[in-house]
Amino acid sequence: MADVSLRKVKKQFGALDVIKGVDLDVQDGEFCVFVGPSGCGKSTLLRMIAGLEEITSGELSIGGRDMTKVGPSERGVAMVFQSYALYPHMTVAENIGFGLKMTGHSKELIAERTARAAKMLQLDALLKRKPGQLSGGQRQRVAIGRAIVRNPEVFLFDEPLSNLDAALRVQMRTELSKLHQDLKATMIYVTHDQVEAMTMADKIVVLSAGRIEQVGSPLELYHRPNNLFVAGFIGSPKMNFLKVTVAAGAGGSLNIALPGAALQLPSHGVSVEGGEMTLGLRPEHIDATGKGDVVIEATVKLAEYLGSETLFFVTLSDGSELAVKADGLAREKPGETIRLGINAKACHLFDANGLAVINGDLTR
Amino acid sequence: MTKAVSSPPGFWTKNQQKLAPWLFLAPGFLMFIIYVLVPIVQSIWISFHDWDGLGEKVWIGLGNYVELLDDDSFYTSLKNNVIWLVLYLLSIPAGLAVALFLNQTVTGIRLYKSLFFFPFVISQVVVGLMFTWFYAPDFGLFSKLIEWLTGEQVAVLADERFVTYGIIAAGLWPQTAYCMILYLTGLNNINPEQVEAARMDGAKGMKLLWFVILPQLAPATFIAMVVTVIGSLRSFDLVSIMTAGGPYGSSQVLSYFMYEQALSEYGFRMGYGAAIAVVLFLIMMVFITLFIVRMLSQERNA
């Protein structure tokens, strides 16, 4: 049993607050991804769980035991570094077995566990090589092997795929997911790539400026973002934001003035004061063929024909810009007029503080 | 060069790739031949003669070498050179210790690093003078300290028992600084994530140093070995400044012995001096060959 829980965890470097109070529970066996823009403190938070950074205040417990002040090797965690951090002077086998050697295990046990890890990661043929003679993907596997042999309760990954090329990254992504299913260990994974987060995670933690913005499953974050930051961070291309004026209408609905059209939004029982608000629309939820509750006209400024889909970047009559994801057969060219259908059910509404008032959750 | 240019058109373009490296090497080769190879051969040649540097050379075959084998000064010098060689190597662990100590991010660390490097920058002559004063009876700090501890005065540089060790201590000061710089550069190249990985693997303190840091500093250790061994064998300036080989020749080393025989006021026995030089050269060749063999085998493995 190795659930990880953080209580009011803070980190200060001198006068600088890097982690400003984090409360988080990661269940045993969960694949949890920390995601956020660079400098948001996600790596620092991971390193604090690893024991490489001191925790300024707050508590960390792993498997129910308080680990706040315990040394990194005694926490039952293993870490895979962004640069892999393999020891260049040791062979693959020595690299993998090093942790066991340091903790005083017998040679037979080290050999046995190294062999098992190597088999699992298809490194059998490479055990005698040095890291300098390996490809990026193989080095990555050795780094994972080094973590596996110690039978840790928690695996920590610090942007492990960012040094690989695109094809290899996709392959390693599935391998990591498979590894998680095989080992059933708790894994905490840091990345700035929201695609990695969406594809691998059981639970995503979105961080910004040292704070947790939202915790949830990938689809929860996609459909029900708590605030503008999460709404803009999850999803690609990112959600469109339009400054709109909202007025309460009849029957609990909201009237939203769009350029060239008026949109009626069901309030779902939420009382909304109205006034200046932000409307969020995902590019893939705007219909480029003009079907929807409301239709507005826009001018195509730029079109990217990707085959499977076409991305339009359009301007509305008031000059505001939208991205629209259309079917790959859409043929509108820059300069042409396009009719956009907007589905009221897919609209998100955020108040002046950037908090979500209404989520356009299409799953409900 | 002129040949290449005046040849029929096309010759230069055809052979440029082959000739260019040799042309670039030519000045270096020329210098090496004139200033290194020829003098070595000349020295060996002179060592077979009796010569005062001005008059006729008289061929005496191995006479100088036979005399050398019977010369007590030669054995004193040889013994001192061995002591130098062994004790001078202490500068390598000392330099590593200082480098590890200085390899951290603290405000003003650059200043501390430069201060530690300072003894290497100042001339050996100045180092020698400073240590001479340091050891000087009556007013030297070291003498005062010894007097305070034991109640007796010890004139280090005038005592046959201590004089060589006193000079080596002076030499260790700049040499340690040199090794420190080599190690600091090496430490800079170690990926901090590797140290963190080792910490996660449970390696701490000496284990971390021994299994993770030191193996990666091997190139720095190798260079430190080379410069320290060669530096110890050619020790001359400190001996010359601090004691001039005294008292009674007890602090002599081979290079100073050679200078004394061939070039000082004691006489101009060029042939005998050259013989000493040849012996020193052969001793150095043993080490240099070892270093080169190691270097070549490493290059082949890389």
How do the domains of chain B map onto residue ranges?
A: 83-252
Is the CB of A52 less than 8 angstroms away from the CB of B196? yes
Residue B41: what residue type? V
Peptide bond into A88 cis (omega under 30): no
Per-residue model confidence (pLDDT) at position B128: 92
Is the CB of B200 less than 8 angstroms away from the CB of A73? yes
Chain A residues closer than 8 Å to B191 by CB: 83, 85
Give the number of beta-carbon pairs within 8 Å between A and B.
62
Residue A362 DSSP one-character state: T
Residue to mutate among B107, B200, B209, B213, with most A CBs inside 10 A, is B200
Residues B277-286 as b/e (b if ≥16 CB within 10 A, e otherwise) read: bbbbeebeee
- Tokens standing for residue A233: 């961070």
**Residue A25 parent element (H or E):** strand A16-26
Chain A residues closer than 8 Å to B215 by CB: 87, 89-90
Per-residue model confidence (pLDDT) at position A80: 92
Is the CB of A52 less than 8 angstroms away from the CB of B215? no
Measured CA to CA, the distance from residue A8 to residue A45 in angstroms comes to 12
364 residues of chain A, pLDDT tens digit each: 588 999 999 999 888 889 998 999 999 999 999 999 888 889 999 999 999 999 999 999 998 889 888 888 888 899 999 988 999 999 999 999 999 998 888 999 999 999 999 988 888 888 999 998 998 889 999 999 999 898 888 999 999 888 888 888 888 888 889 989 988 899 999 998 888 899 999 999 999 999 999 999 999 999 999 999 999 999 888 999 998 888 877 777 888 888 878 888 877 767 777 788 899 999 999 998 888 888 999 999 999 999 999 999 999 988 889 999 999 888 889 999 999 999 888 889 898 888 888 888 777 7
Measured CA to CA, the distance from residue A180 to residue A177 in angstroms comes to 5
What residue in A sits closest to B193 (Cα-Cα)? A85
Measured CA to CA, the distance from residue A232 to residue A37 in angstroms comes to 11
Residue to mutate among A81, A139, A158, with most B CBs inside 10 A, is A81
> pTM of the entire structure?
0.79
How far apart are the CA of B216 and the nearest CA of chain A, in angstroms?
Answer: 7
For chain B, the distance separating the N- and C-terminal CA atoms, rounded to the nearest angstrom, is 36
What residue in A sits closest to B198 (Cα-Cα)? A99
What residue in B sits closest to A74 (Cα-Cα)? B202
Residue to mutate among A98, A103, A153, A157, with most B CBs inside 10 A, is A98
Per-residue model confidence (pLDDT) at position B2: 52
Per-residue model confidence (pLDDT) at position B5: 54
Contact assessment for residue B231 and residue B95, using Cβ atoms and an 8 Å cutoff: no
Q: In what order do the strands lie in the sheet with A203-208?
A: A77-80, A154-158, A186-191, A31-35, A203-208, A211-216
Closest CA to A313 of A288, A350, A289: A288
Per-residue model confidence (pLDDT) at position B3: 53
Nearest neighbour of B201 by CB, restricted to A51, A52, A98: A98
Is the CB of B215 less than 8 angstroms away from the CB of A89? yes
How far apart are the CA of A102 and the nearest CA of chain B, in angstroms?
Answer: 6
Is some CB atom of chain B closer than 8 A to the CB atom of A261?
A: no
Chain B residues closer than 8 Å to A87 by CB: 194, 197-198, 212, 215-216
How far apart are the CA of B226 and the nearest CA of chain A, in angstroms?
Answer: 22
Tell me which residues of chain A, numbers 84 to 123, contact chain B at a CB-CB cutoff of 8 Å. Answer: 85-90, 98-99, 102-103
Residue A239 DSSP one-character state: P
Is the CB of B194 less than 8 angstroms away from the CB of A87? yes
How far apart are the CA of A50 and the nearest CA of chain B, in angstroms?
Answer: 8
What residue in B sits closest to A105 (Cα-Cα)? B202
Is the CB of A98 less than 8 angstroms away from the CB of B216? no
Architecture of domain A4-230: 3-Layer(aba) Sandwich (3.40)
- Determine how β-strand A309-315 pairs with β-strand A294-305: antiparallel
Tell me which residues of chain A, numbers 209 to 238, contact chain B at a CB-CB cutoff of 8 Å. Answer: none
What residue in B sits closest to A133 (Cα-Cα)? B302
Chain B residues closer than 8 Å to A88 by CB: 216
Chain B residues closer than 8 Å to A83 by CB: 191, 193
Is the CB of A98 less than 8 angstroms away from the CB of B207? no
Measured CA to CA, the distance from residue A150 to residue A97 in angstroms comes to 9
Residues of chain B with pLDDT under 50: 1
What residue in B sits closest to A85 (Cα-Cα)? B194
What residue in A sits closest to B200 (Cα-Cα)? A73
Chain A residues closer than 8 Å to B207 by CB: 102
- For the domain made up of B83-252, give the CATH fold: MetI-like fold (1.10.3720)
Strand partners, A263: A256
Residue to mutate among A44, A53, A87, A130, with most B CBs inside 10 A, is A87
Q: Which CATH code for domain A237-358?
A: 2.40.50.140
Per-residue model confidence (pLDDT) at position B169: 93
What residue in A sits closest to B206 (Cα-Cα)? A102
Strand partners, A188: A32, A156
How far apart are the CA of B178 and the nearest CA of chain A, in angstroms?
Answer: 25
How far apart are the CA of B190 and the nearest CA of chain A, in angstroms?
Answer: 10
ipTM at complex level = 0.79
Chain A residues closer than 8 Å to B216 by CB: 87-89
Per-residue model confidence (pLDDT) at position B1: 47
Is the CB of A99 less than 8 angstroms away from the CB of B200? yes
- Tokens standing for residue A77: 């965690």
Q: Residue ranges per domain, chain A?
A: 4-230, 237-358
Chain A residues closer than 8 Å to B198 by CB: 87, 98, 102
